[in-house]
Structure 1
Amino acid sequence: MSAISLPIFLMIFSLTATLFFYRRYQWQNRLQGFKLPPGPRGWPVIGNLLALPSEQGWVVFRDWSRTYGNMIFLRAFGTPMLVISSPDICRDLMEKRSAIYSDKARFTIDELTGWDFNLGVMPYGQRWRGVRAYFHQYFNSVVTPSYHAKQTEQVHAFLRRCLDQADKQLDPGCVRLTLAATIIDLAYGQQILSMDDDYMKLTLEAIDGFVESKVIGKFWVDFMPFLKYLPPWLPGSGAVRYGARYRPVTEEMLDRPFRDIQSGANQNPSMLREILLKLKDEPDTERRSAQEQYAKQATGIAYAAASDTTYSLLQTFFCAMAMSPEIRKKAQKELEFVIGPDRLPTYDDQNDLPYIQAIFLECVRWLPVVPLGIPHRLITDDYYDGYFIPEGTVIIPNVWQMLRDPQDYPDPERFNPDRYLKDDVLNPDVRDPSVVAFGFGRRICPGRHFAKDNAFLTIATILHAFDVLPSIDEHGNEMDPTPKMTSTGGLCYPDRLHYMLRPRSEASEALVRATATAA
């Protein structure tokens, strides 16, 4: 930076920072005299910023709730936050009052990394409505059954890859590839045959950038947006450098398949191509351009929204089955009775397999993929249970704690699908954990129908064809398959994956190999 521009920058930066802190001071003064929800005492100016947990925040917030209750009020540089640990309170606020609780928190890091196109973090507005309209068009509950054939094809391909890795630790990339191949084929008509595919690598790198940025309080720019104007060489500009690292990757992830389809290089049937063909005759060039961007962003988040979440859920399933042979055998007994030995499960069998459905629900509950949910933002002042909740409050649902409430789920640390069953059918009196895990109100996950379908078929076919067993170490001893959880940003993954798959019989192996001929 030149000698002339540096003083100008410092002057602009100082004025912006002064205005920011003055407005925050005014906001804090406005709260005087109001009864706020309880929470830990913070420091002047920065509030509770230094106390925000960088790892396993759901556990820290659980511990705080034992002192402060199910509503914990926090501040970070004047940004109000409310951590909620009760599904009933979440329902009262984010569903019954969804008109004012359905906005999304403004995280400046999403803008810097190029991920502000993601429906999960996008605030209300025309852009959100445009992107969501396209996403809903292709992933609503009426449309998703039309994808069952393609999902089945990819799950069967996954089974065949599992045969190649029988009796040894299953490569995690094998699981990811199944999810990627399905959704990228649907969205773009691209065939992904291995994790070494260039677009696959690009997408995973972009997703890494997004996930790593989701630690609450990791980047102060989320609470002091003026920091985004810092030159990257200045101390405190970590978010700027992080954005410079990942934004080009994110943009290329979106632009590459769009360019290929728009130029005619990729003419395979796909969601994006279908939309672009319909927009081709739009006479209003400005509207056409806007709609093309909405379509590009809607299809761009399709894989990102499903990949890590479904991957984590399936890894939870594999670990749980290796830990609990009695559960696996009970599920296989149900499959043998309903399906028989001569075919693999299909989507049409779902209602006849309540225990398989219960295993899915328990995977969702036991190790929730997004333990702190997706933050919402209150757009106007509100009152609840005698407490004042100010406009702009970021609402953080502690999903992990909700799904470990012993009143809803006795002995919550135990993986127990039977908790959802009564007289061999799903018990409607047990709280459905997927209702909590997939979000609340108008911001509920729009891809949940596709994700549930994919998880059901994968779980059912794996258990019908394979035994999931603990891995064997170099000394011939069984390894402990109990997972340890590792958090990457806002997501949680089972770590220490010590399991392997083995065909249940020669007949099972033959069924799997026959899928190649059918395909």
Structure 2
Amino acid sequence: MGLLDTATLVYLAVAGFLVLLMARLAQIGRRPSDLPPGPPTLPLLGNLHLMPTKDPHLQFQKWAQEYGPVYSLMLGAKTMVVLSSDVAVKEVLDRRSGIYSDRPDMFIGQTVASGGLRLVVMRYGDNWRMIHKMVHNILNIKAATTYVPYQDLENKILLEALLDEPKDLLLHIRRFTYSLSTQMIFGYRCVSNRDPNLLQLFHCFDKWGQVAGSASAQIADLYPILQKLPSWIAPNVSHARKLHVVERDLYVRHWMRAKRALDDGTGLPCFCNDIYRAQTEEKFTDAAAGYISGSLLEAGSDTTASTLYGFILALLLWPDVQTKLQAEIDAVVGPDRLPDISDFDSGKLPYVRCCIKESLRWMPTVVLGVPHAATRDDVYQGWRIPQGATVINNVWSIHMDEKRTPHPRIFDPDRFAGDKTSLYQSAIGDTTKRDNFVFGAGRRLCQGIHIAERSLFLGIARFSWAFTFTKTPGAVYNPEKLVGSITVQPEEFPCIVTPRSAAKAEMIRQAAAQDRTQLDPKTGQWRTVPAGMAFSTWMPDEKEAGKT
């Protein structure tokens, strides 16, 4: 009888444990009542089964319309909070930036595919702060104004290239933004739109975005036990590792070229001077230095190129915008000179400024922002945002909010008539009047915003002064067809690029030829850095050179 009692007790204990375990498991995926509202959940999965694999910005927009400007998604045991209004982004990510400056763990995208070194998704901490301070020194508003000679030359060469090979529109734009970035970061120009390094950069960044944003990457973050699986069971991990090897080789190759030039005294002042100095002090590896410089190369090359490409698509779809732009430029600039940065500073081309703002709003290149993470529990409008939650800046939904922007899929620069703010002033000003949310928020606001605005001004103003862009007969243009992943742009489209006059075409060639006199005729590189650049002139001494 005593034996039976013992067996019964064991049975009851096991049964009780299983009941408790099942009850605990049943709570996984369930939305606690104090979290923001969201779609119905399933046990264990939460909303994981609802996560879109294609055009996620459209589904996130639908959820915002259904559940409000702040809603939550339960992804297994983890929480995602989606901010879909300008006020919510301001209140949470800007005003409470001390809580939301972190990034969520990204096992595939950061740890595996980036070696833990990619700046845009780097966790907040001492290393990020050190890099952020270093970047601020060369990208603040005073420094940004000194890089205009680089922007001016590369833009003129872009215009000349469009005269010679108009069908290579996207490649020419990418070379423009990429070469501007390589000069600032590494001290050398990209002279061909088919430079293997240029093509590899855009290819690798696109592939990284696909890997980092894939469903398998999200599942690996939600269920860390999966991160320990052997690679033959998790082919996505093997693919990410191979991508990292290729990308690391590209970035370190860029870095080492600049580093060797600084060692032997042939390098021109550039951002790598600052990285090299920091490396001698902090003792980080060449791989880390490569990713610091490579992350800036990604940021400087991708977003501005995609925005200019989207702007040209808008001109094809709304030719009246092009007519109005050309009329303003003709009246202010005239036929005898190219628009230049003084026209930006004078504010006498307000419609060009409006086109910059509307291009960023209408075709945002980062539709769901880059995710933030809460470092502690917080409360917003009575809803709890738990520590560790991923927080999304739902850029597309904010830009396409009918109440904020009537008829949002119409490209209408006049929305911003009378708005004289710079992109940075708008980003830190009245959030209900903020022109776009592409550049992020809080301490993670993109520091390249000042340079991007000047590049966009020169691109839009000079494109409109020099050329007329028209549709190719019979071609189909779909502005809703976006390609990419974490960053997007319009699907490639055909375009007829016609010089507005033979005189303007000749003026472009003369301007490009004049600027080339500052370059070495054999290499196409600057002989000396233009005066006034904000780069550090620090150089390694003999003890430091090559020793890090």
TM-score (norm 1): 0.86
CA distance in 2, matches of 1:290, 1:60: 41
Aligned mate of 1:198, from 183, 188, 196: 196
Other structure's SS at 2:79 match:
strand
Indicate whether 1:159 and 2:159 are aligned.
Answer: yes
Indicate yes or no: 2:348 matched with 1:352: yes
Please tell me whether residue 183 in structure 1 is matched to residue 181 in structure 2. yes
Gaps of 5+ in 1: 1-21, 472-476
Cα gap change, 1:47/1:150 in structure 2, threshold over 3 Å: closer, same or farther? same
1:509 pairs with 2:505: yes
**1:479 positional shift:** 3.3
The alpha-carbon distance between structure 1 residues 421 and 272, as it changes in their structure 2 partners (threshold 3 A), is closer
For the 8 Å contact 1:185–1:191, the answer to whether it is kept is yes
Return the offset for 1:303.
1.5
Matches within 5 A, 1:200-215: 200-215=198-213
Deviation by residue 1:242-275 (Cα, 9 ceiling, x = unmatched):
2222110121122112222333478331424422
Give 1:85-124 correspondences, 5 Å limit. Answer: 85-109=84-108, 110-114=110-114, 116-124=116-124
Instruction: State the Cα distance separating 1:229 from its structure 2 match.
Output: 2.5
Deviates more, 1:197-206 or 1:338-347: 197-206
1:144 equivalent in alignment to 2:144 = yes
State the 1:445 CA deviation.
1.1
Which residue of 360, 363, 379 maps to 1:364? Answer: 360
Find the counterpart in structure 1 of residue 65 from structure 2.
Answer: 66
Name which of 267, 277, 293 aligns with 1:299.
293
Equivalenced residue count is 482
Distance in 1, matches of 2:477 and 2:153, equals 29
Describe the shift of the 1:278–1:37 C-alpha distance in structure 2 as closer, same or farther (beyond 3 A): closer
Correspondence 1:253-332 to 2 at 5 A: 253-264=250-261, 267-275=266-274, 278=277, 287-290=281-284, 295-332=289-326
Unaligned runs of 5+ in 2: 1-20, 516-548
Deviation for aligned residue 1:33:
6.4
Q: 2:335 aligns to what?
A: 341
Q: What SS does the corresponding residue of 1:120 show, helix, strand or coil?
A: helix
CA apart distance, 1:462: 0.7
Contact 1:101 1:379 (C-alpha < 8 Å) held by counterparts:
yes
Task: Quickly say closer, same or farther: Cα 1:292–1:27, change in 2 above 3 A.
Answer: farther
Question: CA separation in 1, counterparts of 2:350 and 2:125?
Answer: 41
Counterpart contact for 1:485–1:492, Cα < 8 Å: no
CA distance in 1 between counterparts of 2:29 and 2:180 reads 51
Partner of 1:376: 372
Q: Which residue of 1 aligns with 2:132?
A: 132
Q: Assess if the C-alpha contact under 8 Å between 1:486 and 1:495 holds in 2.
A: yes
Alpha-carbon contact 1:230-1:240 (below 8 Å) kept: no
Question: Given that residues 26 and 44 in structure 2 are in contact (C-alpha distance below 8 angstroms), is that contact kept between their aligned partners in structure 1?
Answer: no
Aligned to 2:541: none
Aligned-residue RMSD, C-alpha: 2.7
8 Å CA contact 1:334, 1:353 repeated in 2: yes
Distance in 2 between residues matched to 1:437 and 1:32, nearest whole Å? 30
Q: Out of 118-127 and 220-229, give the one that drifted further.
A: 220-229
Considering only CA atoms, is the larger Rg found in Structure 1 or Structure 2? 2
Whole-Å separation in 2 of the counterparts to 1:426 and 1:296: 35
Deviation at residue 194 of structure 1 after TM alignment: 1.9
2:120 is paired with a residue whose SS is coil
1 CA distance for matches of 2:431 and 2:229? 51
Identity of aligned residues (%): 28
Deviations 1:453-510 (A, max 9, x none): 1111111111001111112xxxxx3534443422322222111513221100112112
Between the aligned partners of 1:202 and 1:149, the Cα distance in structure 2 is: 26
Work out the CA distance in 1 between the residues paired with 2:222 and 2:265. 42
Q: Distance in 1 between matches of 2:41 and 2:49?
A: 9
Q: Aligned-pair distance for 1:34?
A: 4.5
Change (3 A) 1:61 1:305: same
CA distance in 2, matches of 1:221, 1:309: 28
What letter corresponds to residue 235 of structure 2 in structure 1?
G
Q: Deviations over 1:351-384 (max 9, x none)?
A: 2111001011111111111110111111111111
Counterpart of 1:452 in structure 2 is: 453
Q: How far does the alpha carbon of each residue in 1:293-343 deviate from its partner, in whole angstroms, 9 at most, with x for none?
A: 765433221120122222211111111112222111111111111111111
Q: Does the Cα contact within 8 Å between 2:71 and 2:82 map onto a contact in 1?
A: yes
Cα distance in 1 between the residues matched to 2:62 and 2:274: 48
* CA separation of 1:361 and 1:266: change in aligned 2, threshold 3 A: farther
- TM-superposition CA deviations, 1:18-42 (whole Å, max 9, x none): xxxx9x9699589986521111122
Distance 1:377 1:28, change over 3 A: farther
- Partner-residue secondary structure (3-state), 1:311: helix
Q: 1:225 — aligned with what?
A: 224
Task: Report the AA paired with residue 403 of structure 1.
Answer: H
Change (3 A) 1:335 1:138: same
Q: 2-side partners of 1:275 and 1:218: how far apart?
A: 37
Tell me the equivalent position of 2:391: 395
Superposed counterparts of 1:169-180, under 5 Å:
169-180=167-178
SS at match of 1:245: helix
